[in-house]
Structure 1
Amino acid sequence: MTAISDRPQMLPEQFEEFARHLGRTVEGIRLEFINGKLGIKPVPDGDHGRIIQWLNRICIQARPELYVHDQGLKIQGYRGGFARPDGTLADADAFVGRGDWATTEDVLMVAAVTSFDSETDRRDRVEKPRAYAEASIPVYLLIDRDSAEVVVHSQPDGVRYESVRILPFGKAVHLPEPVGISLDTEPLKNWVR
C-alpha cells in the first residue's frame, strides 16, 4: 500500500508546464520537483552568489572549456524530477538551445550552496544527493555554510554516491574525474554567517 506522503503532488509534465508559466510571473523564487514533491526556495543571498562566482572562476582557470551554468535539469530518476542546482559544471556550450530544463548527459558536476532556510537539510543533504546519483551525475559538490564544510559526493552507482568526502573550510579539496579540479577552500570562510 502506498502512503499518501509517497504519492507525487503532480506529474513531471504538469510541473514543467507549471514552472514555465509561474517562472514568467513570479520573481524571487526558484522551483524544483524532486521525488514527486514541489519545492519552492527563495533566490540566494549575496554571499551565496559570491561562492558560486568563486567556484566558476576556479573552474574556468583550471579548465577554460567549462563553465558553471545556472541551468535547470531534468532528473530522470525515481518519479522523474526537475532540479535547479546552484551551479552545473559542463562544457560552455552544453546547454545552447536546450530551454529551461536540460537533460544531464553533459553534466560533469552539480554544486549546491546551503541556504539558511528550514528545507536545506532535507533538500541539499538528503534528496539531491540521491536524485543526482540516480541521474548518474559524476560529482555533487555541497558547500555547507551551516557546518563550514565541503562535501564531495562521487562515484554514483545509480542509487547513491559510493564515495563521500567531508572537509572543513580551509582545506584543499580535489574534485575527482571527470572534473579533475582542486579547490583552495580558505576563501569560503569569508562568506558564512
Structure 2
Amino acid sequence: MTVAQSEVTLDEFEAFDAAAPDGFHVELINGRVLVTPAPDGDHDENVMYIGDQVRERQAGLRMYQERGLVVPAYRAGRARVDGAVAPVGYFRGQPSWSDPSGVLLVVEVTSGREQDAEVDRVDKRDAYAQAGLPVYLLVDRHRGEVVVHWEPEGGRYLHSATALFGAKLHLPEPFDFGLDTAELA
C-alpha cells in the first residue's frame, strides 16, 4: 500500500513511522510516504544469497538487511533498504536512519505485489542515484531478472545491465565479479 501526500515533513514522517503497526515498513521517498508489509521468506533468502557472494569475494564487506538510510535527494527522504553492503562495522553507533555515505551497494527485492514493484524500479532507483549511492541492484521477481545500476551523476545512474534469473550479472567496481543469480526467485 502506498500513501501519497504532497508535502510531508520529517516530523510528520517520524510520527507516522513510530505509529506504524508491527510488520509494516514506512519510508519517505521523493516526498511520498510508502507503507509496505514486512518481506516474505523468499525475499530474505534473495538478499542473503547476494550478501554471501559479496562476502566470499570481499571479506571486509557485509550485507546489512533492513537498514534505514537517509536519502536526501531533492526532498528529505528515508528508505528502509532490503540490503546495504558496507564495510564491517560501518553501522556501529549509527541511528535507525543512517548516513549512506559509506554504503557501496543497495539491494532491493520486489515485493510479492506487482503494483508495488514500480517503486523499486523507478522511485527508489532515482532516490538512490540522487543520494549518490554508487551501485543499486534490483532483484525483480515479477520480471525474473536482476538489474544493476551504477555511476550516479546528476541524480541519475549513467549505466545499467540486466540478466535473467539463472544467468551471471557482472557487478561493477568496487565488486567486479559475476553475480550468480541461479538461486534467485
Q: Above 0.5 in TM-score? A: yes
The residue type paired with residue 52 of structure 2 is R
- Alignment-derived partner of residue 58 in structure 2: 63
Give the AA of the match of 2:42: D
Counterpart Cα distance in 1 of 2:153 and 2:111: 28
Counterpart in the other structure of 2:38? 43
1:12 aligned residue: 10
Does residue 162 (structure 1) correspond to residue 151 (structure 2)? The answer is no
SS in 2 for 1:161: strand
Match of 1:142, SS? strand
* 1:128-167 → structure 2 map (5 Å cutoff): 128-167=124-163
Q: CA deviation at 1:15?
A: 1.5
Between stretches 142-151 and 165-174, larger displacement belongs to 165-174
Unaligned stretches of 5+ residues in structure 1? none
Amino acid of the structure 1 residue aligned with 2:27: E
1:79 maps to which of 75, 79, 87 = 75
Amino acid at match of 2:113: D
* Equivalent position amino acid for 1:136 in 2: G
CA distance in 1, matches of 2:88, 2:51: 11
Of 94, 102, 105, 2:101 maps to: 105
CA distance in 2, matches of 1:91, 1:13: 30
Give the superposition deviation at 1:17. 4.3
Q: Quote the offset at 1:16 in angstroms.
A: 2.9
**3-state SS of paired residue (2:138):** strand
Amino acid at match of 2:60: E
Deviation at 1:172, TM superposition (A): 1.1
TM-score, structure 1 length as denominator? 0.88
Structure showing the higher strand proportion among its residues: 2
1:56 shift after superposition: 1.4
C-alpha separation in 1, matches of 2:115 and 2:24: 14
Counterpart-to-counterpart distance in 2, 1:44 and 1:154 = 25
| Superimposed CA distance per residue, residues 149-186 of structure 1 (whole angstroms, 9 cap, x where no aligned partner) | 01000111131111111111111111111233431111
- Asked whether the 8 Å contact 2:117–2:140 carries over to 1, the reply is no
The residue aligned with 2:22 is 27
* Aligned pairs, number: 181
**Residue aligned with 2:81, SS:** coil
Using a 3 Å threshold, how does the CA distance of structure 1 residues 91 and 17 change in structure 2: closer, same or farther? farther
Q: Which runs of 5+ in 2 are unaligned?
A: none
Aligned counterpart, 1:177: 173
Q: Are 2:114 and 2:142, in contact at CA under 8 Å, matched by a contact in 1?
A: no
1:175, 1:13 → 2: CA distance? 37
**Distance in 1 separating the partners of 2:34 and 2:115:** 9
